[in-house]
């Protein structure tokens, strides 16, 4: 296993016009499924988690689990904090051993977002790791999900100033995607993305990648998207696998068989996305 920074992965992705999948994980099954698929496809990969996912088993356990399961695999990975919103927790993740952190200050006024992001960038750079920030809000298709007051898409005219003043390695931008599974046909503002891409020379990030049609994924990559976050579809596929297995096996199942069945459907989804993003055969 080669543990690298987000900057290292995305620099190559930007140069060679593909995207690296940022797959959210929190348990052994999730980590195994992603690492095994990445090794099979020779694809670089980002294992990422939000605060609740990290603390499900504790940050120390999260890092140890990834390192242990990946120790005998030919994989190239970054370990990333997803949607961090707190300076102290970002520092904690750096101490855990993450190779990149995200600070999501998109809900803050522009100047405050810059100031908070810059503080975390300084700490991350001193530790030798990467930093992702967000400009423009990314909502949620689930009515029980996050609530955003005054939602807005990324302003192309603000991007250059934001990146210059914060020094971030990559930037999550809002141009029509949302977190969760899409309930209606998706329409992306690709003209906005193109304008953003012309303003900066750093990799751009798409959040809400689950269920984005392949055509839109490939067009977004051409316009500068180098990291695409995938979470909701993996949760759905795992739940579908569990449900199908339990319906077809009415006796009390052996736990290993139960989770292996769910993992099989999940790995199929991971493989499909890695191929679609163009990240296979990049190691």
The residue written with tokens 């001193």 in the block is: 126
Whole-angstrom CA distances from 182 to 152, 213, 226, 233 are 19, 10, 21, 10
Name the active-site residue from 12, 82, 104, 169. 82
Q: Which of 191, 176, 87 is nearest to 133 (CA)?
A: 87
Phi, psi of 141 (to 5 degrees): -75, -20
Q: Mark whether 155 is an active-site residue.
A: no
- Does residue 227 contact residue 19 with C-beta atoms inside 8 Å? yes
The SS3 of residue 2 is strand
Q: Are strands 2-3 and 20-24 parallel, antiparallel or unpaired?
A: unpaired
Cite the active site residues.
Answer: 82
């Amino acid at each position: 296993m080669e543990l690298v920074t987000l900057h290292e992965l995305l620099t190559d992705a930007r140069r060679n016009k593909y995207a690296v999948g940022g797959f959210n994980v929190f348990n052994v099954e999730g980590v195994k499924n992603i690492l095994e698929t990445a090794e099979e496809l020779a694809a670089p990969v980002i294992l990422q988690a939000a605060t609740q996912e990290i603390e499900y088993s504790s940050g120390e356990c999260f890092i140890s689990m990834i390192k242990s399961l990946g120790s005998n695999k030919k994989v190239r990975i970054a370990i990333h904090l997803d949607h961090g919103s707190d300076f102290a927790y970002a520092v904690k993740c750096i101490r855990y051993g993450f190779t990149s952190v995200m600070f999501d200050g998109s809900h803050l006024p522009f100047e405050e977002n810059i100031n908070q992001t810059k503080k975390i960038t300084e700490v991350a750079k001193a530790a030798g790791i990467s930093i992702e920030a967000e400009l423009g809000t990314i909502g949620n298709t689930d009515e029980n999900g996050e609530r955003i007051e005054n939602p807005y898409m990324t302003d192309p005219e603000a991007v250059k100033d934001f990146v210059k003043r914060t020094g971030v390695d990559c930037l999550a931008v809002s141009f029509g995607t949302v977190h969760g599974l899409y309930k209606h046909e998706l329409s992306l503002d690709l003209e906005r993305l193109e304008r953003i891409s012309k303003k900066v020379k750093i990799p751009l990030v798409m959040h809400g990648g689950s269920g984005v049609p392949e055509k839109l994924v490939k067009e977004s990559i051409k316009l500068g998207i180098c990291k695409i976050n995938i979470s909701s579809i993996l949760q759905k596929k795992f739940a579908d696998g569990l449900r199908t297995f339990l319906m077809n096996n009415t006796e009390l199942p052996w736990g290993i068989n139960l989770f292996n069945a769910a993992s099989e459907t999940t790995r199929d989804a991971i493989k499909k996305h890695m191929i679609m993003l163009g990240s296979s055969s990049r190691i």
